[in-house]
């Protein structure tokens, strides 16, 4: 059974397309816009958040999208934030993560559900 036609992978030789470099603000705006499009399409999003810089950035983009849509009057599907305390983080990272979860719960950001497991 063939999963796909490999001949469709062949493309004609094309000139490379130069993409305009985007500023940091433009990149963030594009990421927030992409998340908003998914939410407006009714997708239920989950952000796996470890508390590190990459997942914190991803979470910030998702929360910004939800907050902007809420301000525009759009009722967003629930955003789920998954966090697992693996019991191997340094005490400083653990305290920071606990503080962030507490702040999110108190401010009601994005109707987030924070799940703790360990």
- Residue 2 within a domain: no
H helices, E strands: number in the chain: 3, 3
Residue 54 lies in a domain: yes
Q: Which residues contact 50 (CB under 8 A, 6 or more apart)?
A: 83, 84
Return d(Cα 58, Cα 40) in angstroms, integer. 18
Q: Give the structural domain span for 54.
A: 43-118
- Residue 23 located in a structural domain: no
Pick the closest to residue 71 from 27, 117, 32, 25 (CA basis).
Answer: 32
In order along the chain (118 residues), what is the average pLDDT of each group of 10 residues? Answer: 58 64 91 94 89 89 92 86 79 83 63 47
Is 30 among the domain residues? no
Kindly state whether residue 5 falls inside one of the protein's structural domains. Answer: no
Rounded distance between C-alpha atoms, residue 105 and residue 114, angstroms = 8
- Tell me what pLDDT residue 30 has: 93
pLDDT at 20: 77
CATH number for the domain that contains residue 118: 3.40.50.620
pLDDT of 11:
59
Any domain includes 55: yes
Q: What is the pLDDT of residues 46-75, one digit of tens each?
A: 998 888 889 889 999 998 999 899 899 998
Is the pTM of the predicted complex or chain greater than 0.85?
Answer: no
Beta carbons within 10 angstroms of residue 88's beta carbon: 7
Residue 27 lies in a domain: no
The predicted structure's pLDDT at residue 103: 73
In angstroms, what is the C-alpha Rg of the chain? 19
DSSP states of 33-85: HHHHHHHHTT---EEE--SSHHHHHHHHHHHHHHHHHHHTT--PPPPEEEEE-
Asked if residue 77 belongs to a domain, the reply is yes
Number of domains in the chain: 1
């Amino acid at each position: 059974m063939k999963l796909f036609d490999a001949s469709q992978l062949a493309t004609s030789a094309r000139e490379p397309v130069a993409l305009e470099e985007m500023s940091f603000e433009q990149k963030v705006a594009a990421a927030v816009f992409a998340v908003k499009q998914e939410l407006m399409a009714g997708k239920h999003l989950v952000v796996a958040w470890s508390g590190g810089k990459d997942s914190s950035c991803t979470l910030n983009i998702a929360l910004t999208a939800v907050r902007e849509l809420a301000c525009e009057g759009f009722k967003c599907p629930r955003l789920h934030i998954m966090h697992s305390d693996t019991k191997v983080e340094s005490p400083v990272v653990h305290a920071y993560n606990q503080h962030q979860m507490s702040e999110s719960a108190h401010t009601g950001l994005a109707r987030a559900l924070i799940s703790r497991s360990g």
